[in-house]
Amino acid sequence: MNRVARAFWLDRPGEGRIRDVDLPEPAEGEVLVRSLFSGVSRGTETLVFRGGVPESQHAAMRAPFQEGDFPAPVKYGYLNVGVVEEGPEGLAGRTVFCLYPHQTRYVVPVTAVTVVPDDVPAERAVLAGTVETAVNALWDAAPLIGDRIAVVGGGMVGCSVAALLARFPGVKVQLVDADPARAKVAQALGVDFALPADAHGERDLVVHASATEQGLARSLELLSAEGTVIELSWYGDRKVSLPLGEAFHSRRLVIRSSQVGTVSPRRAGRSYADRLALALDLLADPALDALVTGESAFDELPDLMPRLASGELPALCHRIRYEDTL
Protein backbone atom coordinates (compact mmCIF):
# COMPACT_ATOMS: atom_id res chain seq x y z
CA MET A 1 0.00 0.00 0.00
CA ASN A 2 1.11 3.55 -0.75
CA ARG A 3 2.31 5.03 2.56
CA VAL A 4 2.13 8.63 1.37
CA ALA A 5 -0.97 10.62 2.30
CA ARG A 6 -1.96 14.20 1.49
CA ALA A 7 -2.94 16.83 4.04
CA PHE A 8 -4.14 20.43 4.02
CA TRP A 9 -1.82 22.86 5.84
CA LEU A 10 -2.16 26.54 6.64
CA ASP A 11 1.20 27.89 5.42
CA ARG A 12 0.56 31.46 6.62
CA PRO A 13 -2.56 33.34 7.70
CA GLY A 14 -4.92 33.43 4.74
CA GLU A 15 -2.99 30.94 2.59
CA GLY A 16 -2.98 27.14 2.63
CA ARG A 17 -1.78 24.27 0.46
CA ILE A 18 -1.84 20.49 0.23
CA ARG A 19 1.32 18.65 1.28
CA ASP A 20 2.47 15.07 1.01
CA VAL A 21 2.71 13.23 4.35
CA ASP A 22 4.63 10.00 5.04
CA LEU A 23 2.48 7.56 6.99
CA PRO A 24 3.96 5.24 9.62
CA GLU A 25 3.09 1.57 9.75
CA PRO A 26 0.24 1.09 12.24
CA ALA A 27 1.60 -0.35 15.47
CA GLU A 28 -0.31 -2.58 17.87
CA GLY A 29 -3.23 -0.60 19.25
CA GLU A 30 -3.37 1.71 16.21
CA VAL A 31 -5.57 1.95 13.12
CA LEU A 32 -5.03 3.19 9.58
CA VAL A 33 -8.04 5.23 8.47
CA ARG A 34 -8.91 6.26 4.91
CA SER A 35 -10.88 9.50 4.95
CA LEU A 36 -14.33 9.55 3.38
CA PHE A 37 -15.43 13.02 4.45
CA SER A 38 -14.29 15.87 6.65
CA GLY A 39 -16.05 19.04 7.66
CA VAL A 40 -14.96 22.67 7.80
CA SER A 41 -16.39 24.42 10.84
CA ARG A 42 -16.80 27.95 9.48
CA GLY A 43 -16.43 29.57 12.90
CA THR A 44 -13.32 28.13 14.54
CA GLU A 45 -11.50 26.93 11.44
CA THR A 46 -11.86 30.18 9.54
CA LEU A 47 -10.68 32.09 12.62
CA VAL A 48 -7.59 29.86 12.63
CA PHE A 49 -7.21 30.37 8.87
CA ARG A 50 -7.04 34.16 9.21
CA GLY A 51 -4.55 33.89 12.09
CA GLY A 52 -6.97 35.10 14.75
CA VAL A 53 -6.01 32.80 17.65
CA PRO A 54 -4.64 34.99 20.50
CA GLU A 55 -1.20 34.00 21.75
CA SER A 56 -2.63 33.41 25.23
CA GLN A 57 -4.92 30.73 23.77
CA HIS A 58 -2.44 28.86 21.58
CA ALA A 59 -2.25 25.91 23.97
CA ALA A 60 -5.99 25.80 24.76
CA MET A 61 -6.94 25.90 21.08
CA ARG A 62 -4.78 22.99 19.95
CA ALA A 63 -6.74 20.30 18.13
CA PRO A 64 -6.09 16.68 19.23
CA PHE A 65 -3.98 15.78 16.15
CA GLN A 66 -2.79 19.24 15.19
CA GLU A 67 0.71 19.55 13.78
CA GLY A 68 2.63 22.81 13.85
CA ASP A 69 1.81 25.84 15.96
CA PHE A 70 -0.38 28.92 15.69
CA PRO A 71 -0.51 31.11 13.79
CA ALA A 72 1.23 29.02 11.08
CA PRO A 73 2.35 26.75 9.57
CA VAL A 74 -0.24 24.48 11.10
CA LYS A 75 -2.37 21.46 10.18
CA TYR A 76 -5.71 22.02 11.87
CA GLY A 77 -9.16 20.41 11.87
CA TYR A 78 -11.33 18.08 13.91
CA LEU A 79 -14.27 16.72 11.88
CA ASN A 80 -13.19 13.58 10.03
CA VAL A 81 -15.08 10.44 9.04
CA GLY A 82 -13.31 7.51 7.43
CA VAL A 83 -13.11 3.76 7.10
CA VAL A 84 -10.59 1.64 8.99
CA GLU A 85 -8.32 -0.05 6.45
CA GLU A 86 -5.96 -1.68 8.95
CA GLY A 87 -6.60 -2.39 12.61
CA PRO A 88 -8.04 -4.84 15.12
CA GLU A 89 -10.61 -7.32 13.84
CA GLY A 90 -13.51 -5.52 15.49
CA LEU A 91 -12.68 -2.23 13.76
CA ALA A 92 -11.36 -3.24 10.33
CA GLY A 93 -13.81 -2.11 7.67
CA ARG A 94 -15.89 -0.01 10.08
CA THR A 95 -16.80 3.62 9.51
CA VAL A 96 -15.39 5.81 12.29
CA PHE A 97 -15.34 9.43 13.43
CA CYS A 98 -12.07 11.02 14.55
CA LEU A 99 -11.01 14.51 15.65
CA TYR A 100 -8.46 14.64 12.84
CA PRO A 101 -7.53 17.39 10.34
CA HIS A 102 -8.16 17.29 6.58
CA GLN A 103 -5.97 14.41 5.35
CA THR A 104 -6.51 11.53 2.92
CA ARG A 105 -5.26 8.78 5.27
CA TYR A 106 -3.94 8.80 8.83
CA VAL A 107 -2.73 6.54 11.65
CA VAL A 108 -4.09 7.08 15.17
CA PRO A 109 -4.55 5.07 18.37
CA VAL A 110 -7.63 2.85 18.51
CA THR A 111 -8.90 4.98 21.37
CA ALA A 112 -9.04 8.06 19.08
CA VAL A 113 -11.78 6.69 16.82
CA THR A 114 -15.47 6.19 17.54
CA VAL A 115 -17.56 3.80 15.47
CA VAL A 116 -20.34 5.55 13.57
CA PRO A 117 -23.72 3.87 14.26
CA ASP A 118 -25.19 1.92 11.36
CA ASP A 119 -28.18 4.28 11.12
CA VAL A 120 -25.98 7.38 10.70
CA PRO A 121 -24.67 8.04 7.16
CA ALA A 122 -20.97 8.86 6.91
CA GLU A 123 -21.89 12.10 5.13
CA ARG A 124 -23.84 13.28 8.20
CA ALA A 125 -21.37 11.96 10.76
CA VAL A 126 -18.97 14.86 10.03
CA LEU A 127 -21.32 16.90 12.25
CA ALA A 128 -20.46 14.83 15.32
CA GLY A 129 -17.98 17.30 16.78
CA THR A 130 -20.44 20.18 16.55
CA VAL A 131 -23.37 18.19 17.90
CA GLU A 132 -21.06 17.18 20.76
CA THR A 133 -20.56 20.90 21.49
CA ALA A 134 -24.34 21.31 21.53
CA VAL A 135 -24.73 18.37 23.93
CA ASN A 136 -22.22 19.93 26.31
CA ALA A 137 -23.94 23.31 26.07
CA LEU A 138 -27.29 21.80 26.98
CA TRP A 139 -25.74 19.92 29.89
CA ASP A 140 -24.50 23.33 31.07
CA ALA A 141 -27.80 25.08 30.34
CA ALA A 142 -30.02 22.39 31.91
CA PRO A 143 -33.26 23.50 30.19
CA LEU A 144 -36.53 22.58 31.90
CA ILE A 145 -39.79 21.31 30.49
CA GLY A 146 -41.86 24.19 29.16
CA ASP A 147 -38.97 26.68 28.97
CA ARG A 148 -39.07 29.58 26.52
CA ILE A 149 -35.69 29.61 24.82
CA ALA A 150 -33.96 31.67 22.15
CA VAL A 151 -30.86 30.58 20.27
CA VAL A 152 -29.15 33.70 18.98
CA GLY A 153 -26.84 32.95 16.08
CA GLY A 154 -27.81 30.51 13.36
CA GLY A 155 -24.37 29.20 12.59
CA MET A 156 -23.28 25.57 12.85
CA VAL A 157 -23.23 25.46 16.66
CA GLY A 158 -26.39 27.52 17.16
CA CYS A 159 -28.36 25.40 14.72
CA SER A 160 -27.13 22.21 16.39
CA VAL A 161 -28.32 23.52 19.77
CA ALA A 162 -31.70 24.50 18.29
CA ALA A 163 -32.08 21.07 16.69
CA LEU A 164 -31.54 19.30 20.02
CA LEU A 165 -33.80 21.71 21.91
CA ALA A 166 -36.58 20.99 19.42
CA ARG A 167 -36.80 17.50 20.97
CA PHE A 168 -37.44 18.77 24.52
CA PRO A 169 -41.09 18.39 25.63
CA GLY A 170 -43.03 21.61 25.93
CA VAL A 171 -40.04 23.81 25.09
CA LYS A 172 -40.63 26.75 22.75
CA VAL A 173 -37.50 27.45 20.70
CA GLN A 174 -36.81 30.40 18.45
CA LEU A 175 -33.70 30.62 16.29
CA VAL A 176 -32.61 34.25 15.93
CA ASP A 177 -30.28 35.37 13.15
CA ALA A 178 -29.65 38.46 11.03
CA ASP A 179 -29.66 36.38 7.84
CA PRO A 180 -33.23 35.74 6.59
CA ALA A 181 -31.95 32.68 4.71
CA ARG A 182 -31.57 30.89 8.05
CA ALA A 183 -35.37 30.66 8.21
CA LYS A 184 -35.26 27.66 5.86
CA VAL A 185 -32.74 25.92 8.12
CA ALA A 186 -34.90 26.62 11.17
CA GLN A 187 -37.93 25.18 9.39
CA ALA A 188 -35.99 22.01 8.54
CA LEU A 189 -34.95 21.68 12.18
CA GLY A 190 -38.51 22.16 13.43
CA VAL A 191 -38.03 25.47 15.28
CA ASP A 192 -39.37 29.01 14.92
CA PHE A 193 -37.25 31.76 13.34
CA ALA A 194 -36.95 35.50 13.82
CA LEU A 195 -34.71 38.38 12.80
CA PRO A 196 -33.10 40.04 15.85
CA ALA A 197 -35.55 42.96 15.92
CA ASP A 198 -38.54 40.60 15.82
CA ALA A 199 -37.38 38.02 18.37
CA HIS A 200 -39.66 37.11 21.27
CA GLY A 201 -38.63 38.43 24.68
CA GLU A 202 -39.15 37.13 28.21
CA ARG A 203 -37.05 34.05 27.52
CA ASP A 204 -36.10 31.81 30.43
CA LEU A 205 -32.87 30.89 28.67
CA VAL A 206 -30.90 32.28 25.75
CA VAL A 207 -28.07 30.37 24.08
CA HIS A 208 -25.76 32.81 22.31
CA ALA A 209 -23.66 31.60 19.37
CA SER A 210 -23.42 34.52 16.94
CA ALA A 211 -19.85 35.54 17.91
CA THR A 212 -20.87 39.21 17.75
CA GLU A 213 -21.21 41.74 20.54
CA GLN A 214 -24.55 42.84 19.01
CA GLY A 215 -25.81 39.28 19.34
CA LEU A 216 -24.73 39.03 22.96
CA ALA A 217 -26.33 42.38 23.80
CA ARG A 218 -29.56 41.28 22.13
CA SER A 219 -29.43 38.00 24.06
CA LEU A 220 -29.48 39.93 27.33
CA GLU A 221 -32.45 41.99 26.12
CA LEU A 222 -34.44 38.83 25.36
CA LEU A 223 -34.15 37.40 28.89
CA SER A 224 -36.84 37.37 31.51
CA ALA A 225 -35.88 38.49 35.03
CA GLU A 226 -33.23 36.17 36.54
CA GLY A 227 -32.76 34.50 33.15
CA THR A 228 -29.46 33.09 31.89
CA VAL A 229 -27.42 33.52 28.72
CA ILE A 230 -25.23 30.54 27.89
CA GLU A 231 -22.31 32.00 25.93
CA LEU A 232 -20.99 29.61 23.28
CA SER A 233 -19.27 32.16 21.05
CA TRP A 234 -15.51 32.34 20.98
CA TYR A 235 -14.19 35.73 19.89
CA GLY A 236 -10.54 34.89 19.36
CA ASP A 237 -8.53 38.12 19.43
CA ARG A 238 -11.53 40.46 19.30
CA LYS A 239 -12.69 42.69 22.19
CA VAL A 240 -16.39 42.66 23.12
CA SER A 241 -18.34 45.47 24.84
CA LEU A 242 -21.53 44.76 26.79
CA PRO A 243 -24.32 46.92 28.26
CA LEU A 244 -23.96 45.79 31.87
CA GLY A 245 -25.58 48.96 33.19
CA GLU A 246 -29.26 49.55 32.42
CA ALA A 247 -31.33 46.66 33.79
CA PHE A 248 -28.59 44.01 34.01
CA HIS A 249 -28.30 44.13 37.80
CA SER A 250 -31.88 45.00 38.71
CA ARG A 251 -33.15 42.04 36.67
CA ARG A 252 -30.43 39.78 38.11
CA LEU A 253 -29.34 38.43 34.73
CA VAL A 254 -26.66 35.76 34.34
CA ILE A 255 -24.04 35.17 31.63
CA ARG A 256 -22.34 31.78 31.82
CA SER A 257 -19.72 30.41 29.46
CA SER A 258 -19.79 26.92 27.99
CA GLN A 259 -16.86 25.30 26.23
CA VAL A 260 -16.56 21.82 24.76
CA GLY A 261 -12.95 21.38 25.93
CA THR A 262 -14.26 20.32 29.34
CA VAL A 263 -17.16 17.98 30.03
CA SER A 264 -19.89 19.96 31.78
CA PRO A 265 -19.56 19.82 35.59
CA ARG A 266 -23.27 18.93 35.62
CA ARG A 267 -22.27 15.60 34.03
CA ALA A 268 -18.99 15.03 35.82
CA GLY A 269 -19.53 11.27 35.70
CA ARG A 270 -19.49 11.23 31.91
CA SER A 271 -16.32 10.90 29.83
CA TYR A 272 -15.41 12.60 26.58
CA ALA A 273 -16.04 9.25 24.86
CA ASP A 274 -19.54 9.06 26.38
CA ARG A 275 -20.34 12.55 25.13
CA LEU A 276 -19.13 11.88 21.58
CA ALA A 277 -20.98 8.55 21.41
CA LEU A 278 -24.18 10.35 22.43
CA ALA A 279 -23.64 12.98 19.72
CA LEU A 280 -23.26 10.26 17.09
CA ASP A 281 -26.44 8.54 18.27
CA LEU A 282 -28.33 11.83 17.96
CA LEU A 283 -27.17 12.15 14.35
CA ALA A 284 -29.61 9.42 13.34
CA ASP A 285 -32.06 12.33 12.86
CA PRO A 286 -32.09 13.26 9.13
CA ALA A 287 -33.21 16.81 10.00
CA LEU A 288 -29.57 17.52 10.87
CA ASP A 289 -28.66 17.24 7.17
CA ALA A 290 -29.79 20.88 6.98
CA LEU A 291 -26.52 21.85 8.72
CA VAL A 292 -24.44 20.74 5.73
CA THR A 293 -24.72 23.59 3.27
CA GLY A 294 -22.08 22.72 0.68
CA GLU A 295 -19.58 20.14 -0.50
CA SER A 296 -16.23 20.31 -2.28
CA ALA A 297 -13.45 17.92 -3.24
CA PHE A 298 -10.36 17.72 -1.02
CA ASP A 299 -8.13 19.20 -3.75
CA GLU A 300 -10.25 22.37 -3.71
CA LEU A 301 -9.38 23.25 -0.09
CA PRO A 302 -6.61 25.80 -0.89
CA ASP A 303 -9.06 27.85 -2.97
CA LEU A 304 -12.09 27.10 -0.80
CA MET A 305 -10.80 28.22 2.61
CA PRO A 306 -10.22 31.90 1.70
CA ARG A 307 -13.77 32.08 0.32
CA LEU A 308 -15.22 30.59 3.51
CA ALA A 309 -13.09 32.82 5.73
CA SER A 310 -14.10 36.00 3.89
CA GLY A 311 -17.79 35.12 3.85
CA GLU A 312 -17.86 35.10 0.04
CA LEU A 313 -19.14 31.53 0.33
CA PRO A 314 -21.83 31.38 3.05
CA ALA A 315 -21.85 28.11 4.94
CA LEU A 316 -22.76 26.27 8.11
CA CYS A 317 -20.74 23.08 7.76
CA HIS A 318 -18.96 22.73 4.43
CA ARG A 319 -18.28 19.06 3.72
CA ILE A 320 -15.09 17.84 2.06
CA ARG A 321 -15.22 14.60 0.07
CA TYR A 322 -12.21 12.37 -0.57
CA GLU A 323 -13.41 9.93 -3.20
CA ASP A 324 -11.58 11.90 -5.92
CA THR A 325 -8.25 11.40 -4.13
CA LEU A 326 -8.21 7.61 -4.29
HEC string of 76-133 equals: CCCCEEEEEEECCCCCCCCEEEECCCCECEEEEEHHHEEECCCCCCHHHHCCHHHHHH
Give residue limits of the domains in the chain.
Answer: 4-123+287-325, 130-267
Coil vs helix vs strand at 308? helix
Q: Are the CB atoms for 149 and 223 separated by under 8 Å?
A: no
User: How does strand 113-115 pair with strand 95-98?
Assistant: antiparallel
Of 324, 283, 265, the closest CA to residue 114 belongs to 283
Class of the domain covering 130-267 = alpha beta
pTM for this entry = 0.91
Length of the chain: 326
Find the angle CA(225)-CA(148)-CA(41) to the nearest 5 degrees: 105
pLDDT for position 325: 57
Q: What is the pLDDT of residue 93?
A: 96
pLDDT at residue 2, as a whole number:
66
Mean pLDDT by 10 residues, the chain (326 residues): 89 97 96 98 87 89 94 96 95 97 98 97 97 96 96 96 96 97 96 98 97 95 97 85 88 93 92 95 97 96 95 91 75
The architecture CATH gives domain 4-123+287-325: Alpha-Beta Complex (3.90)
- Please state, in angstroms and rounded to a whole number, the distance separating the CA atoms of residues 315 and 326: 26
**Element (H or E) spanning 33, and its range?**
strand 30-41
State the greatest distance between any 2 C-alpha atoms of the chain, in Å, as a whole number: 67
Q: What is the 3-state secondary structure (H, E, C) of 241-296?
A: CCCCCCCCCCCCCEEEECCCCCCCHHHCCCCHHHHHHHHHHHCCCHHHHHHEEEEE
CA pair distance 287, 292, nearest whole angstrom: 11
